């Protein structure tokens, strides 16, 4: 029986404690973190500074297996979608999004999703299971190594968004631990501002996140400020209504120049009218808000349609009259179904 646990499940403090409790010098944790997270090596660490006891402990107790990249789709706009196969054969997707010769990775946190948003391809699957910390970290390391190998001149992976399959705050513990590993100064050393967690408004998770992971960027899927429309788009709005979520967000302390991102999926003849735009502007006016306008990307069988370009521009213009920045997010990767709400795991 394999009693090894994944190395990628342990944050730095856990790893130090584990080594210490097994009579191994905890200083080995720094070497391991440097090897696997700073240098992102996949093969086992055989650093000469590791003691014999440390080597034996590591070999006997840690599994360094990563998920596998099963398929790679490269879009004409340089977006890359990786179909990642997990140990139990389930699949999730990670998406590499290029911006000014750097990449942001969009990580999945669950297989399927329990939130069942009506515009979302992933939501149609229902929740199959949560991802473990090592499966979240694994997506990053695989993507980093894929970029290094395939786009060597252009492989800086600097930002993480939890916006792939799943509601990240519904899988709180695993996502929190993965974030601690991304942030650790002994390894990848990403800043809190380089990580964004996106939620549909799952309030219990949001409260924990604010208390336990302060400073990490937050994105809220807004999509409508009208209760009936939001209920239809995001069914958990019935349980955690927008106003309640916003009242809580308003209490979260923000750093200087830190904004909350509000994602607004524009759907033709549903939430793209001037009335919707004015209501959104009035709702967010005066807040540290950036509004990302995302034209809906139709997927096979979806009941919604992409808005007209003229409605998108009009919506943006109206939001601007409320002194709010509204960015139209180009739907990178929509030729390979890699845009927001389109992730599914069909091979």
Q: How many CA atoms lie less than 13 Å away from 259 in the CB half-sphere?
A: 15
Residue 340 falls in the annotated catalytic set: yes
The two structure tokens encoding residue 6: 């994944």
Contacts of 306 (CB under 8 A, 6+ apart): 268, 295, 296, 297, 298
Does 166 engage in binding with ligand SF4 (CB under 6 A)? yes
Distance, CA of 86 to CA of 128 (rounded, Å): 13
Our CB check for ligand SF4 shows the closer of 34 and 329 to be 329
Among 83, 101, 195, smallest CA distance to 139 is for: 83
Does 113 engage in binding with ligand SF4 (CB under 6 A)? yes
Among 46, 42, 47, smallest CA distance to 7 is for: 42
Among 19, 236, 25, smallest CA distance to 123 is for: 236
Our CB check for ligand SF4 shows the closer of 116 and 207 to be 116
Does 318 engage in binding with ligand SF4 (CB under 6 A)? no
Burial of 329 (0-12, 13-18, 19+ CB in 10 A): middle
Judged by CB under 6 A, which stretch of 108-116, 173-181, 187-195, 321-329 contacts ligand SF4? Answer: 108-116
Distance, CA of 233 to CA of 25 (rounded, Å): 53
Does 117 engage in binding with ligand SF4 (CB under 6 A)? yes
Restricted to residues 185-204, the positions that interact with ligand SF4 (CB under 6 A) are: 200
Q: How far apart are CB 127 and ligand SF4 at their closest, in Å?
A: 9
Our CB check for ligand SF4 shows the closer of 200 and 277 to be 200
Q: Write down the catalytic residue from 93, 135, 167, 263.
A: 93
Our CB check for ligand SF4 shows the closer of 36 and 223 to be 223
Q: How far apart are CB 270 and ligand SF4 at their closest, in Å?
A: 16
Phi and psi for 295 in degrees, rounded to 5?
A: -60, 130
Restricted to residues 217-256, the positions that interact with ligand SF4 (CB under 6 A) are: none
Our CB check for ligand SF4 shows the closer of 45 and 225 to be 225
Of the candidate residues 93, 167, 276, 334, the single one contacting ligand SF4 (CB under 6 A): 167
Residue 93 falls in the annotated catalytic set: yes
Distance, CA of 91 to CA of 125 (rounded, Å): 12
Q: How many residues bind ligand SF4 (CB under 6 A)?
A: 12
Catalytic residue numbers read 93, 340
> Which positions lie near ligand SF4, rule CB under 6 A?
113, 115-117, 120, 122-123, 165-167, 200, 341
């Amino acid at each position: 029986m394999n009693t090894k646990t994944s190395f990628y499940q342990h944050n730095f403090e856990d790893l130090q404690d584990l080594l210490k409790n097994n009579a191994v010098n905890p200083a080995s944790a720094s070497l391991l973190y440097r090897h696997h997270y700073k240098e992102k090596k996949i093969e086992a660490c055989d650093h000469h500074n590791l003691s014999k006891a440390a080597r034996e402990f590591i070999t006997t107790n840690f599994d360094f297996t990563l998920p596998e990249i099963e398929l790679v789709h490269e879009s004409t706009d340089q977006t890359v979608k990786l179909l990642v196969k997990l140990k139990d054969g389930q699949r999730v997707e990670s998406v590499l999004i290029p911006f000014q010769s750097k990449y942001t990775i969009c990580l999945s946190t669950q297989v399927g999703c329990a939130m069942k948003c009506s515009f979302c391809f992933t939501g149609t699957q229902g929740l199959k299971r949560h991802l473990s910390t090592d499966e979240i970290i694994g997506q990053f390391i695989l993507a980093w190594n894929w970029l290094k190998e395939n786009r060597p001149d252009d492989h800086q992976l600097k930002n993480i968004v939890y916006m792939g399959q799943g509601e990240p705050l519904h899988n709180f513990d695993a996502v929190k631990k993965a974030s601690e590993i991304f942030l650790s100064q002994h390894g990848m050393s990403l800043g809190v501002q380089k990580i964004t967690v996106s939620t549909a408004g799952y309030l219990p998770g949001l409260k924990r996140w604010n208390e336990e992971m302060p400073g990490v960027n937050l994105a809220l899927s807004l999509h409508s400020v009208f209760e009936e429309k939001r209920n239809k788009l995001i069914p958990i709005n019935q349980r955690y209504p927008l106003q309640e979520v916003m009242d809580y967000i308003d209490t979260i302390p923000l750093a200087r120049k830190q904004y909350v991102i509000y994602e607004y999926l524009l759907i033709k003849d549903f939430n793209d009218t001037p009335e919707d735009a004015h209501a959104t502007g009035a709702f967010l006016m005066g807040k540290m808000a950036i509004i990302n306008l995302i034209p809906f990307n139709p997927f096979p069988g979806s009941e919604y349609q992409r808005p007209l370009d003229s409605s998108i521009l009009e919506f943006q213009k109206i939001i601007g009259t409320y002194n709010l920045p509204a960015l139209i997010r180009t739907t990178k990767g929509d030729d390979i179904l890699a845009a927001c709400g389109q992730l599914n795991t069909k091979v």
